[in-house]
């Protein structure tokens, strides 16, 4: 089957656009080998970091996987800019185990370790940023959609400002509704773009976003280009199938009365209760990944039960 036939097979219509809130598409949007993609990345960073970003250089990290069920691979975008500062950008759809804050803090520390060389002068340590676009609400007690986390004293005195974790909570931006683009700040405009870019009924709104934010215009051009890639469409379809499988398996667990047992295990908070639940799930043929999500146990521990 030639490339044109493959594209027609997976792309819903000739003008359909990929969803930038999908891992592979999000990464392709900012790492495409084009001037538009690089400009979009630079402008996005400028908007989120609140300072001019220039000389962006992509850092090598994990390549796209062929097996879309492999969740060990992170579809992050890693780069350096402004003479050595580094940033890692990722899209996260699920708050797995409700420990995303600790995860982001670890990734930021790991990024710092990768760019600072042992024995260097402490004055030369670069600033690093972990930027996460969240498709869930992380902080239910704060209405702010954009949050910056840094190490500081109780009185607000900054320790060094070297490490910064930034969360952009997309559901909070989505809740703003059909707000005029001119009333949004740059960060909010970018979030609206990610949310609406693939929606046929929102294309006029997306054009208005792009008209007021040059980087979004370049991102829109890149999205138009990569939407002719049949491989990305196939991966998006595969993701939909995997998500449907996951939801079906969770429904099966509920029908078997396992949800009640899961909740009981969480309330008891004992390791033994979680292990008993895991053993019961395994007897029913539930996958290790779903059991891990339900109990909080590691996949290795579950496999050893």
Separation of alpha carbons 76 and 28, rounded Å: 10
Q: Which of 284, 211, 274, 198 is nearest to 249 (CA)?
A: 284
Given this model, what pLDDT does residue 195 score? 97
Can you give the residue ranges of every domain in the chain? 17-226, 237-303
The residue with greater pLDDT, 304 or 70, is 304
Given this model, what pLDDT does residue 220 score? 97
304: pLDDT confidence band, cut at 50, 70 and 90? confident
Decide: pTM greater than 0.85: no
Given this model, what pLDDT does residue 86 score? 96
CB 133 within 8 A of CB 30: no
DSSP SS3 for 32: coil
Lookup: tokens for 140? 């239910």
Whether the predicted pLDDT of 68 surpasses 50: no
Given this model, what pLDDT does residue 260 score? 64
Given this model, what pLDDT does residue 127 score? 95
Lookup: tokens for 246? 């996951």
């Amino acid at each position: 089957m030639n490339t044109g036939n493959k594209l027609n097979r997976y792309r819903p219509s000739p003008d359909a656009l990929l969803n930038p809130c999908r891992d592979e598409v999000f990464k392709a949007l900012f790492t495409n080998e084009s001037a538009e993609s690089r400009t979009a990345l630079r402008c996005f960073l400028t908007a989120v970091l609140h300072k001019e970003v220039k000389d962006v250089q992509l850092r090598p990290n994990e390549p796209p996987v062929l097996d879309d069920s492999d969740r060990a691979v992170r579809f992050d975008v890693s780069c350096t800019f402004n003479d050595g500062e580094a940033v890692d950008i990722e899209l996260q759809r699920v708050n797995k185990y409700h420990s995303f804050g600790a995860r982001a803090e670890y990734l930021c520390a790991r990024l710092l370790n990768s760019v600072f060389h042992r024995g260097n002068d402490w004055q030369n340590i670069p600033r690093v940023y972990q930027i996460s676009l969240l498709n869930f609400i992380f902080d239910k007690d704060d209405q702010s959609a954009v949050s910056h986390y840094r190490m500081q004293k109780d009185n607000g005195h900054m320790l060094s400002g070297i490490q910064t974790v930034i969360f952009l909570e997309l559901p909070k931006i989505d809740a703003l509704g059909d707000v005029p683009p001119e009333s949004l700040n740059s960060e909010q405009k970018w979030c609206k773009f990610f949310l609406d870019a693939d929606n046929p009924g929102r294309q006029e709104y997306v054009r208005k976003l792009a008209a007021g934010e040059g980087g979004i215009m370049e991102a829109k051009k890149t999205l138009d280009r990569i939407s002719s890639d049949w491989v990305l469409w196939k991966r998006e379809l595969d993701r939909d199938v995997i998500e449907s499988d996951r939801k079906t398996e969770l429904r099966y667990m509920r029908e078997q009365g396992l949800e009640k047992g899961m909740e009981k295990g969480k309330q008891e908070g004992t390791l033994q209760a979680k292990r008993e639940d895991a053993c019961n799930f395994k007897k029913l043929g539930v996958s290790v990944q779903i059991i891990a999500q339900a109990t909080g146990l590691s996949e290795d521990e579950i496999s050893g039960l």
